[in-house]
Amino acid sequence: MSNYESKDHEKVHTDFKERMTYGEYLQLGDLLSAQNRLSSHHDEMLFIIIHQVSELWMKLILHELNAAIASIQKGDVQAAFKMLARVSNIQTQIIQAWDVLSTLTPAEYIEFRDSLGQASGFQSYQYRMVEFVLGYKSPHVLKIYEKDPQLHKELEEAFEAPSIYDVAIEKLVEAGFDINPDLISRDYTKTYQADPTVEAAWGKVYKNVDRYWDLYQLAEKLVDIEDHLQQWRFRHMKTVERIIGHKKGTGGSSGVGYLKKVLDHRFFPELWDVRTSL
Q: Specify the pLDDT at position 2.
A: 55
pLDDT exceeds cutoff 90 at 17: no
| CB-facing half-sphere around the CA of 276: CA atoms within 13 A | 5
Say which residues have a Cβ less than 8 Å from residue 213's Cβ, sequence separation at least 6. none
Q: Specify the pLDDT at position 9.
A: 58
pLDDT exceeds cutoff 60 at 86: yes
For 209-260, what is each residue's pLDDT tens digit?
A: 999 999 999 999 999 999 999 999 999 999 999 998 988 767 767 788 888 9
- Summarize the annotated binding site for heme as residue ranges: 236
Give the N- to C-terminal CA distance of the chain in Å, as an integer: 70
Instruction: Estimate to the nearest angstrom the gap between the alpha carbon of 174 and the chain centroid.
Output: 28
How many CB atoms are closer than 10 A to CB 92? 12
Q: What is the mean pLDDT of residues 87-110?
A: 96
Q: Specify the pLDDT at position 8.
A: 63
Q: What is the mean pLDDT of residues 65-77?
A: 97
Q: What does each C-alpha distance from 21 to 13, 30, 31, 156 come to in angstroms? A: 10, 14, 15, 38
Q: Specify the pLDDT at position 4.
A: 54
The full set of domains in the chain, from first to last, is 42-108+121-246+253-276 (1.20.58.480)
- Summarize the annotated binding site for substrate as residue ranges: 47-51, 109, 113, 250
Nearest to 69 by CA among 57, 55, 83: 83
Structure confidence at residue 56 as a pLDDT band (50, 70, 90): very high
How many CB atoms are closer than 10 A to CB 191? 15
Q: Specify the pLDDT at position 11.
A: 78
pTM for the model stands at 0.91
Would you call 54 helix, strand, or coil by DSSP?
Answer: helix
Q: What is the mean pLDDT of residues 45-62?
A: 97
The chain-wide mean pLDDT, for the chain, equals 93
DSSP labels for 27-46?
THHHHTT----SSS-TTHHH
- Summarize the annotated binding site as residue ranges: 47-51, 109, 113, 236, 250
For 123-171, what is each residue's pLDDT tens digit?
A: 899 999 999 999 999 898 899 999 999 999 999 999 999 999 999 999 9
